[in-house]
């Protein structure tokens, strides 16, 4: 590689690296507090916004929340993010992927209809504006006895997603 190409390559790397750190020195706190103790997930929207999800106990039991942060470090879904689901029982272990339109799909383990050891898999679609598209509690992907664990998801290439999990039926 000649010297000019090396210089251009170095300049490109420097520009990309500095652009990633255009926020405050210590980053942007998406959520602060003592209640964040469980699974976190995030993905980047096509326009560069970052969307995060997590579960915490600010309401006394684990619920799922989300936040969207733009390239300037501004929180777009309020100071504390939005509640994805706050039903009775635990909701935890969210997995999130961007929907390609500025919003996100989220799946999680939900224990509202089952004993503490048997959770179902639920999903929610959040719009770019932070609106819950599939209602207050999302939609059940499973609703049967036995625990569903090891949740994961990927894009289907057509604006939706595939969800997978391990089914521990008795």
Model confidence at 156: pLDDT above 90: yes
Task: State the pLDDT confidence band at 33, using cuts at 50, 70 and 90.
Answer: low
Q: Report if pTM > 0.75.
A: yes
Query: Is residue 51 within a helix (H) or strand (E), and if so which, with residue range?
Result: strand 50-56
Q: What is the pLDDT of residue 37?
A: 61
Model confidence at 103: pLDDT above 90: yes
Distance from the Cα of residue 130 to its chain's centroid: 12
φ, ψ for residue 33, nearest 5 deg:
140, 175
Cα–Cα distance between 48 and 14 in angstroms, integer?
Answer: 19
Write out pLDDT tens, residues 41-53.
Answer: 889 999 999 999 9
Contacts of 130 (CB under 8 A, 6+ apart): 66, 68, 76, 77, 78, 82
Whether the CB-CB separation of 42 and 52 falls below 8 Å is answered with yes
């Amino acid at each position: 590689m000649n010297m000019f190409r090396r210089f251009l390559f170095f300049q490109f790397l420097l520009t990309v690296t500095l652009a990633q750190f255009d926020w405050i020195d210590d980053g942007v706190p998406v959520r602060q507090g003592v209640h964040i103790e469980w699974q976190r997930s995030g993905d980047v929207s096509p326009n560069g916004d970052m969307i995060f999800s997590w579960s915490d106990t600010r309401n006394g039991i684990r619920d799922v929340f989300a936040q969207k942060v733009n390239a300037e470090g501004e929180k777009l879904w309020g100071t504390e993010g939005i509640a994805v689901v706050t039903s009775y029982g635990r909701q935890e272990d969210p997995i999130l992927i961007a929907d390609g339109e500025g919003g996100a799909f989220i799946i999680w383990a939900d224990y509202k209809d089952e004993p503490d050891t048997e959770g179902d898999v639920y999903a929610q679609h959040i719009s770019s504006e932070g609106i819950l598209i599939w209602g207050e509690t999302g939609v059940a992907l499973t609703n049967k006895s036995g625990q569903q664990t090891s949740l994961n998801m990927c894009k289907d290439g057509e604006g939706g997603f595939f969800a997978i999990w391990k089914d521990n039926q008795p």
